[in-house]
Amino acid sequence: MFSKFFINRPIFATVVSIVIILAGIIAIKSLPVQEYPSIAPPQIIVSATYPGADAQTLATTVAAPLEEEINGVSNMLYMTTTASPSGNVNISVYFQIGTDVAQAKVDVNNRVQIATNKLPEAVRRQGVSTRERSPDILKVLALTSKGNVHDTTFISNYALVNIVDDLKRIPGVGDVSIFGNKNYSIRAWINPDKLATYELTTAEVVNAIKSQNEQYAAGQIGQEPMEKEPTFTYTVKTDGRLKNATEFENIILKSNADGSSLKLKDVARVELGVEAYYFGGIYNNNPMIPIGIFLASGANALEVSDLLDKKLAEISTNFPADLQINTAYDPTTFVRESIHEVIFTLLLSIALVVGIIYLFLGNLRATFIPVLAIPVSIVGTFAGFYAAGFSINLLTLFGLTLAIGLVVDDAIVVIENVERILRDEEDLSVKDATIKAMREITNPVIAIVMVLCAVFVPAAFMGGFSGMMYKQFAMTVIISVTISGIVALTLTPALCALLLRKHESEPFWLIQKFNALFEIGTKLFSTGVRKTIRFGIMNVAVFGVMIFAIYLITTRIPTGLVPNEDKGIILVINNLMPGASLGRTQKVSQEVSNFAFTNPNVERVGAMSGIDFITGAYKTDAGISFVRLKDWDQRPRADQTSQAIAGQMMMGLFQNKEAMLIPVTPPPIMGMSTTGGFEMYIQDRTGSDIQVLDSYVKTIIEKASARKELAAMRTTLNTNVPQFLINVDNEKAKSLGVDVADIFTTIQATFGNTYTNDFNLFGRTYHVNVQSESTFREGTENYNDIFVKSSEGRLVPISSLASIKRIVGPSVVQKFNMFQAAQISGQPAPGYSSGDALRIIEEVAKEVLPNGYTIAWAGTSYQEKQLEKSGNTAFIYAIIFVFLILAALYESWTIPFAIVLAVPFALFGAALAVYFRDLQNDIYFQVGLVTLVGLSSKNAILMVEFAIQKMHEGYNLLDATIEGARIRFRPIVMTSFAFIAGTLPLALSTGAGANSRHIIGTTVVGGMITLTLIGTFFVPLFFYLIMKTKEKIDSKRSHS
C-alpha cells in the first residue's frame, strides 16, 4: 500500500511537504502581480496624417488603401478606423487572445508598406507608423506649473525632451503619449494682402522655405581616389537647416535688380509657436499637460507602475521649481486594493476553516493534521503557477480562496476515518488503525482528486476570453487539489500515526454538546434516508420538479460578462454642439470640474478638452473629465459607490445647456473598451451616403433611449457639423493657365496648415508650418483675398476659379472591418445587466435596420456575445469528464449516474442564491457551477464508495446504502461546512472588487448549502434505485 511507506517513514513524508512549501516560497518572489492575466485582445495601431484633410477625404484616400491591405492579416478579429478633422487616421487592428504581438506587428507593417504607394504624397511625407500598444492605459499623468509660471507650451515640450523618453525605456511600458501635445513649430503666418502686393503666391513662399531650409551634403576635400596623395582629408559642412525664427525671417523670396531682396518677414510673421492649437487640459482647475502611459502587451501592470513611480521620483529632482507632476488617472489603485481585499478574504477563510475543523474533530492535535494541508497546498500552488507561466491575479487568488475549503477535504476524510476505526475497534493500535483506514480510504481519496481535477480539465483547454478566464481558475484548483491529494496520502497518515491517541481527553464542553447534537442529527439523517428511499417514486418526481425550477430560475437571472466594479473613477464625456470652439469646450470642462468638487466623495479632477475620448479623435467640440473618488473605506454606503455617484452627477450635469455631459464608469476589464456598458457598430454595406446611415442611427438612439432597460445612449456619428464645400472650375483654371494643384495648396495653406519641412531644437526634429494670419481665415469673406499665379505670371483670384457653399457633414468618420460605420454605446439602466442591454439594443437595431445594414460588436460586448455561444460548454464537458472518470474507476456505466445526479441540487442552490441576491449569470457564476460539479461528485463518491464496501461485506442493498450514508454523513457535513466557511467571506466581502467576489462566493455557498441539506438524502436514493434496477436486469439475463 502506497501510504504505508510514509506511515513507517514520517520524516520522509515531512520532507516531501517541506520541499513543496519551499518551491512555492521561491516561486512567489518571481511571480508577477496583476488584476487579470492577458485577456484583452492584442492591438496594433496604424497611424497616418494628412494635414488639412476632412474626415471623409481621409477615409477614402488614406484609410481605404491601408484597410484593403491589412484586412485578413493572420489571427485578426476585427479592425476599427477613425478619421478625425485634425487630419489624423488611426486604424486599430485587434487580434485573437494569445496572438504573438511582435509577429502581429511585423505582419501588419508588411502590409502597410505595400499600401504606402497608394497614399497621397502629403501623407507619405508625414510617414505612416505601425505600433504595438496595449489598450490598457496604465496611468494618465498631469504636468502642471505651480502659480502658472510656465505656460502649457513650455510644459509640453519640457515633457517631450526630458520625461517621455525616460518613461518609454521602462520595461513593460508600451507607449508614452502626450495628449494634445504642443510641440514647437516654426510658424510662418502669411499676410495674403502683402503677398498680392508683391505678386507672390503661397506656393512660392512654401517652395522658398523648402529650398533654403534644407540639409545638403557637400562631401570632402581630398577624398580618395586622388592623382596626388593628399596630406589631409577635410569634411565640408554647409549651413543647412535654419536654427531659429530670426533665420527663417530672413529667407529670401525675391531678389531685385538693385540688389535688394524681399524676405519672408516682409510678408509673414514668423515665430517659434506650436504645431497644433486644438487641445487644452486642466487638473484641479489648473492648466495641465496630460501624459498617457500605455502598458505593453503581456506586461505586469503593478510592477510597471512601481517602476514608473520610481523613475518619476528620480527625474522630478531635476524639474524646474514650479513644475509638478500628479496622477490624474491610475487604475492600478483599484487593482492593488482588490488584491489586498482578496488576500484578507483568503486569510479570513483559513481562520474559519480551522474553526470548523476544530469544532468537528474536538482536539487540537487532530485539528493540526488537516490544517497542515492548507499551507502545503496553497503555498505549493505558487510553484505550479511559475511552471505554468501564470501570475498572481484576481482569478488565481479566487481559485486559492475556494481551494482552501477543498485542500482540507482529503485530509479530513483520512483523519475522520482513522478516528472512527479507533472508536469502533479498540484492540487496534493507532498505527494499525491508520493503516486500515488508508486501505479503506485510498481509493476514495484518489477518486476525489481525479474527479475534482477532471472537472476543470476541459476548462483548462478552452480558447478565447472565457478560456483564458477558466484556465487561470481551473489550473489553480487542479494544482492545489493535486498537492492536497499527495499530502493526504503521505503526510496526513504519517501524522495520524504519530499524533493521534487511542483515548483522548474529554473535549471542551461546547464540543461535547455539539457532538451530542450531531449524533442526534446523524440518527435523524439515517431515518430520513430510509424514508427517502421508501417513497422513492414520489421523491424522483420532486427531483423532476426541481429540475424544472432550475430552468425557470436561470432564465430569470440577468446575464453579463463580468460585473461592473466600483473602480474609484468616473469618466464624464463632454460633447458640445457640432463645431463648437475649443474655448467653449474648455469652459464646459471647467464647469464640470467645479460641479464635481461639490460632491464630498470626490478627491481630484482632471479634464482634457479637444479630444473625443471614445473615438480617440481630436476635435474642438469634445472633451473628457477624470473624476477620482476617495478611497473605498471612506465611501462605505450604497449611495457612495461610483455607480451611484455617477447617477447623482448625471442629474446635476443634465441641466447644463452648453453640452451633453454623460458620467460613466470605466470598463470592468481594462483594455477591452473605453468605458463601461456596451459598444456596437452599425455597418453600412450598401455604400450609401453617410446621411442615410445617420438617419438609421438616430432612429436607433431615439427608440433605445425610450426603453427602460437602457441609459446614456450615445453615438459617435454626427453629420450635422457645419462645413464649407469648394468646387473648382477645372476648365476655367486650365484656360487661364492655372495649375489646379496650386489652387488646393494655396487653400490649404490659408485655411488649413501646410507642412513644409523640419528644423532642429534641443536635439529634436520639429515641423515648419505655413498658414495665413487669423484675420485672413475668420470667414468665407476671406476667400476673396487668396490668389494663385498663372503660367504667364499673372495673379488670379481663387474666387474666380472656384465656388464655395455652406454644407453639413461628419466631423469624424468611422469604419468597422472596412465598411462605413457608426459606433453606438450606452449603459444598462439601474437594475439591469449588460446582457439585458445587449439583448434590447439588438432588438431595436434589427427592428430599424433594412437589408444591407448590419450589427457588429466590439470591446467587452464582443467578448460577451462570444461567451453566450460557449457559456455552457465548460459546464457540460465537466459533467462528461466526471462521468467518464467515475466509469473508469468503478468499471461501471451505471454507478456514475448515482454520483452525477447530485449536481442538480448544487445547481438549484446556486441559481436560487444568485437570483435572490440580484446578481448576474456571468463568467464567475459559470466558474462557480463548474466547481460545484466537482464538489457534488466528491460528496456523492464518499457515500457510494462505502455503500459498495458494505455490500461486499454482506449487507443487503438497502442496509448497505443506509449504512454507507450514515458512516460518511459526518465527514461530508464536516468537509461541506469547511468549504462553506472558507467561501463565505467571498460572498459577504466589501471594498474594491467586491462584486466579482459576491458572484462566485454566492454561487458556491448557495450550491453547497442545498447540496448538503437536500442532496445528501437523494444520493442514497439514486444509488439504491440504480443498483436495484441493475440487479433486476442482471437477474433477467441470468434466467434467460
Q: What are the boundaries of each domain within the chain?
A: 2-34+335-509+532-561+868-1039, 41-133, 568-665
The phi, psi pair for 124, rounded to 5°, reads -65, -35
Instruction: Name which of 195-199, 238-242, 821-825, 868-872 the model is least confident about.
Output: 868-872
Q: What is the pLDDT of residues 800-857, one digit of tens each?
A: 888 888 888 888 899 999 999 999 988 888 878 888 889 899 999 999 999 999 999 8
Instruction: State residue 870's pLDDT score.
Output: 65
Q: How far apart are CA 469 and CA 874, in angstroms?
A: 11
Helix, strand, or coil here: 576?
Answer: strand
- Expressed in angstroms, the distance from the first to the final Cα of the chain is 42
* Identity of the residue numbered 457: V
Instruction: Supply the pLDDT for residue 1.
Output: 65
**What would the mean pLDDT of 472-496 be, rounded to a whole number?**
88
CA 593 – CA 590 distance, rounded (Å): 5
Residue 470, amino acid? Y
CA gap 134, 136 in Å, rounded: 5
* Closest among 563, 566, 571 to 643, alpha carbons compared: 566
User: What is the mean predicted confidence (pLDDT) over 470-478?
Assistant: 84
CA 722 to chain centre: 37
* Residues 525-547 pLDDT 10s: 889 889 988 888 898 999 999 99
Nearest alpha carbon to residue 622 among 60, 86, 139, 144: 86
Residue 113 reports pLDDT greater than 80: yes
127 sits in the region (left: phi over 0; alpha: psi -120 to 50; else beta) called: left
Cβ within 8 Å of residue 260, ≥6 positions away: none
C-alpha to C-alpha distance for 313 and 545, rounded to whole angstroms: 65
- Check pLDDT > 90 for residue 166: yes
Identify the pLDDT of residue 138. 85
Distance CA 61, CA 65 (A): 7
d(CA 793, CA 791): 5
Query: What percent of the chain has a predicted confidence (pLDDT) above 70?
Result: 98
pLDDT at residue 297 is higher than 70? no
Task: Check whether 136 has a pLDDT greater than 70.
Answer: no
Q: Do 41-133 and 568-665 agree at the fold level?
A: yes
> How far is residue 15's CA from residue 718's CA, in Å, rounded to a whole number?
70
Give the Cβ contact number of residue 499 at 10 Å.
16
Q: How confident is the model at residue 307 (pLDDT cuts 50, 70, 90)?
A: very high
DSSP string of 515-554, one letter each residue: HHHHHHHHHHHHHHHHHHHHTHHHHHHHHHHHHHHHHHHH
Which of 133, 158, 137 is closest to 316 using CA atoms? 158
Angstrom distance (rounded) from CA 292 to CA 176: 6
How many Cβ atoms from other residues are within 10 Å of residue 702's Cβ? 12
Q: Over pLDDT 90: what percentage of the chain?
A: 25
Tell me which long-range contacts 149-156 makes (C-beta under 8 A, separation of at least 24): 149/320, 149/322, 150/320, 150/322, 150/323, 151/287, 152/182, 152/280, 152/281, 152/287, 152/288, 152/289, 153/182, 153/184, 153/274, 155/288, 155/289, 155/323, 156/181, 156/182, 156/183, 156/289
- Kindly report the CATH class assigned to 41-133: alpha beta
Q: What pLDDT shows up at residue 134?
A: 66
Listed in order, strand segments (DSSP E) in 630-753 are 659-664, 678-684, 710-715, 721-728
Report residue 147: phi and psi, to 5°.
75, 10
pLDDT (mean) for 233-245: 84
- Burial of residue 260, with CB atoms counted within 10 A of its CB: 0-12 exposed, 13-18 middle, 19 or more buried: exposed
Q: Which residues is 617 bridged to in the sheet?
A: 612
Q: What is the mean pLDDT of residues 314-321?
A: 91
**Which CATH superfamily groups domain 2-34+335-509+532-561+868-1039?**
Multidrug efflux transporter AcrB transmembrane domain (1.20.1640.10)
- Report how far residue 603's alpha carbon sits from residue 957's, in angstroms, rounded to the nearest whole number: 69
Count the neighbouring beta carbons within 10 Å of the beta carbon of residue 237: 9
Question: Beta-carbon neighbour count of residue 1040 at 10 Å?
Answer: 5
- Cα–Cα distance, 749 to 753 (Å, whole number): 5
Q: Quick count: other Cβ atoms within 10 Å of Cβ 876? A: 12
pLDDT for 763:
85
Q: What is the per-residue pLDDT for 722?
A: 82
Crossing angle between the packed helical segments 332-361 and 301-315, to the nearest 10 degrees:
130
pLDDT band for 147, please (50, 70, 90 cuts): confident
Predicted pLDDT at 698: 92
Burial of 394 (0-12, 13-18, 19+ CB in 10 A): buried
CA 61 to chain centroid, in Å, comes to: 33
pLDDT tens profile 62-88: 999 999 999 999 999 999 999 988 788
pLDDT, average across residues 281-310: 85
- Contact between 404 and 374 (Cβ < 8 Å): yes
Supply the pLDDT for residue 505. 63
Residue 681, beta-bridge partner list = 823, 856
- Residue 678: name the closest of 907, 833, 464 by CA: 833
Q: What are phi and psi of 367, to 5 degrees?
A: -65, -40
- Helical (H) or strand (E) element with 813: strand 813-816
- Could you give the 3-state DSSP secondary structure of residue 599? coil
| pLDDT score at 503 | 63
Q: What's the CA gap between 10 and 2, in Å, rounded?
A: 13
User: What does the pLDDT read at residue 1040?
Assistant: 59
- The answer, yes or no, to whether residue 926 has pLDDT greater than 90, is no
In this structure, what are the phi and psi dihedrals at residue 1031, rounded to the nearest 5 degrees? -60, -40
Spatial CB neighbours of 155, under 8 Å, sequence gap ≥ 6: 143, 144, 145, 288, 289, 323
Beta carbons of 116 and 130 less than 8 angstroms apart = no
* Alpha helices by DSSP H, 901-1015: 903-916, 923-952, 957-988, 994-1010
Residue 298: the pLDDT is 64
pLDDT digits 0-9 by tens, 975-1012: 888 888 888 888 888 878 888 889 989 999 999 999 98
pLDDT tens column, 260-270: 899 999 999 99
Q: Is 234 left (phi over 0), alpha (psi -120 to 50) or beta?
A: beta
- Is residue 209 within 8 A of residue 770, CB to CB? The reply is yes
Q: Which fold has domain 568-665?
A: Alpha-Beta Plaits (3.30.70)
Q: Residue 965's closest CA among 897, 906, 1015?
A: 1015
Q: What is the mean pLDDT of the chain?
A: 86
DSSP letter, residue 670: B
Per-residue DSSP letter, 508: P
State the pLDDT at residue 796: 86
d(CA 934, CA 698): 50
Is residue 178 scored above 80 in pLDDT? yes
pLDDT band at 733 (very low <50, low <70, confident <90, very high): confident
- Range scoring the smallest mean pLDDT among 20-24, 58-62, 969-973: 969-973
Q: Quick one: angle between helices 10-28 and 464-489, nearest 10?
A: 150
Q: Nearest-5° angle of CA 426, CA 427, CA 433?
A: 75
Q: Which residue has the higher pLDDT, 65 or 405?
A: 65
Closest residue by Cα to residue 981 from 341, 368, 356, 511: 356
What are the CA-CA distances from residue 862 to residues 40, 433, 832, 961, 1015 (Å)?
11, 58, 19, 50, 38
